[in-house]
Amino acid sequence: MSEKLNNFIKNLDVSPAHFQQKAAERLGDLDFPTTKDEYWKYTRLGKLTKLELSKNADPDRLNLTKHIISNDYLVVVNGFIREDLSQYSKLDFEIDFLGSDRMAEEAFFDKSLNKKDVFASMNSAFFEKVISIKIGASKINEGPLQIIYVSKGEHIISNTRLFIEAGKSSQSEIIQTYITKESTNSFTNHVTEAYVAENAHLRINKAQLEDDSNALISTEQIHQEANSVFKINTVTLSGGLVRNNINIAVAGQNCETHMNGAIVTKKNELIDNHTFVDHQVSNCVSHENYKYVLGGKSTGVFNGRVVVQKDAQIINAYQKNGNILLSDHAKINSKPELEIYADDVKCSHGSTTGQLDDEAIFYLQARGISKDNAKKLLVRAFIGEVIESFENEHFEEYINKQLELIHGWNN
């Protein structure tokens, strides 16, 4: 194991469970990626890897009222599930908090995670308990289940793990909110695995509101069976380093896959979204739309990879990435990666980066709207296209409220 990695995890104990011991062993052969690795080309991890971190099961009661947007919610503080702060009915979602020994019995658990990925392996070695959510066959859940991840304190590492099995013909939504309470120089390393069974509809809405000295790396490993619809919306409004790795294997025909992102920054944030849709079979559609509004000295990274495997015919893959730079010091690295091995495929991608339209600002000003407010209206409209596609009013309201609190945008 590299000295750097060894130093990084030196305060963490590995559970005696076989699964986690194995994962820890794997770490011995791994190291942190550098910008020489194509997958991490634009994202430096130097600051994160130098942090000295430890676990802390914080017992405090927390007031999370402002962040609760669903009747059913689970609270996780520093990687520890807090049943005392959670509230949920087992009628809609089958929820369990399980150790790795129990999870290892699940057919789909850990199966498709990249074992060479240092962060996914670190998560496997050090998570406390897995939140396992099963949605029964044909179960239609009107309300979403929310999971609130809280970082609290200084120099804390949280390895959080979520496992979702959306049963045949079920319909449900999971909201994940990442928030902080007096948290600095901390790191959340999250992994979600989701198995979307035949004809199931699953939507994940993520709101990431980390502290500007914190890092959040989130890896989503999704598997879609035939006729299923999967949608994941990611909103990032703050955070020193935020990296999302969304990997979706579309393994059944007639699937729909949607990925949307809304990113707003104002300081030194580095927000990196790597998405990967693997079209393994025919007759599927994937839609992707990520929008960044970057201010201050922040950096955005967008890497959208789409693979259409040989014999996966009649695929329609559509990708869009739009960026507005609000300052001369903000920057964006945007890269589509389309690998198409089939011939009857419709793939399109477009990336635009620019400043706000001066003519539009003047038009609004000429009607009596101040320049600042005119800019806000335009930026709001730009990102609004993504936010309005979330299909959950409460989540949209929550995002709008956070835009007001964090970025001073009012509606």
Partner 1 sequence: MLDKEEIRMSRTLLDIKNLHAEIEEEGKAILKGLNLSVKAGEVHAIMGPNGAGKSTLASVVSGKDGYEITEGSIEMDGADILELDPDERAKEGLFLAFQYPVEIPGVSNINFLRTALNEIKEYRQEEQISAKDFMAMVREKSALVDLDPKLASRSVNEGFSGGEKKRNEIFQMAMLEPKVAILDETDSGLDIDALRIVAAGVNKLKNENNAVILITHYQRLLDYIVPDFVHVLADGQIVKTGDKSLALELEEKGYDWLN
The residue assigned the tokens 């994202």 is 43
Nearest distance from C-beta of residue 408 to partner 1, angstroms? 15
Nearest distance from C-beta of residue 409 to partner 1, angstroms? 13
Q: Of 286, 266, 298, 300, nearest to 346 (Cα)? A: 286
Total residues belonging to the chain: 411
Question: How many angstroms separate the CA atoms of 220 and 119, rounded?
Answer: 12
Which 341-360 residues touch partner 1, going by CB under 8 A?
357-360
Token representation of residue 131:
């939140």
Q: Whose Cβ is closer to partner 1: residue 26's or residue 380's?
A: 380
DSSP bridge pairs for 273: 244, 302
Nearest distance from C-beta of residue 353 to partner 1, angstroms? 17
Give every CB contact of residue 105 below 8 A, 6+ residues apart in sequence: none
Binding mask of the shown chain, residues 176 to 195, with x at each position contacting partner 1 by CB under 8 A: --------------------
The residue assigned the tokens 């730009």 is 382
- Strand segments, DSSP code E, in 6-102 are 72-77, 80-81, 94-98
Beta carbons within 10 angstroms of residue 387's beta carbon: 18
Q: Whose Cβ is closer to partner 1: residue 204's or residue 374's?
A: 374
Nearest distance from C-beta of residue 262 to partner 1, angstroms? 13
Q: Whose Cβ is closer to partner 1: residue 198's or residue 385's?
A: 385
Which 253-282 residues touch partner 1, going by CB under 8 A?
none
> Which amino acid type is present at position 360?
A
Binding mask of the shown chain, residues 371 to 390, with x at each position contacting partner 1 by CB under 8 A: x-xx--xx-xxx-xx-----
Among 365, 404, 405, 408, binds partner 1 (CB under 8 A): 365
Q: Does 142 bind partner 1 (CB under 8 A)?
A: no
Q: Whose Cβ is closer to partner 1: residue 39's or residue 363's?
A: 363
Query: Which of 63-71, 258-266, 272-280, 370-378 is the region at the interface with partner 1 (rule: CB under 8 A)?
Result: 370-378
Which three-class secondary structure state does DSSP give residue 36?
coil
- How many residues at the interface with partner 1, by CB under 8 A? 23
The CA-atom distances, in angstroms, between 46 and each of 54, 184, 258, 271, 405 are: 18, 17, 33, 15, 30
Q: Whose Cβ is closer to partner 1: residue 171's or residue 353's?
A: 353
Start-end of H helices in 188-326: none
Phi, psi angles (nearest 5°) of residue 327? -135, 160
- Residues at the interface with partner 1 (CB under 8 A): 357-360, 362-371, 373-374, 377-378, 380-382, 384-385
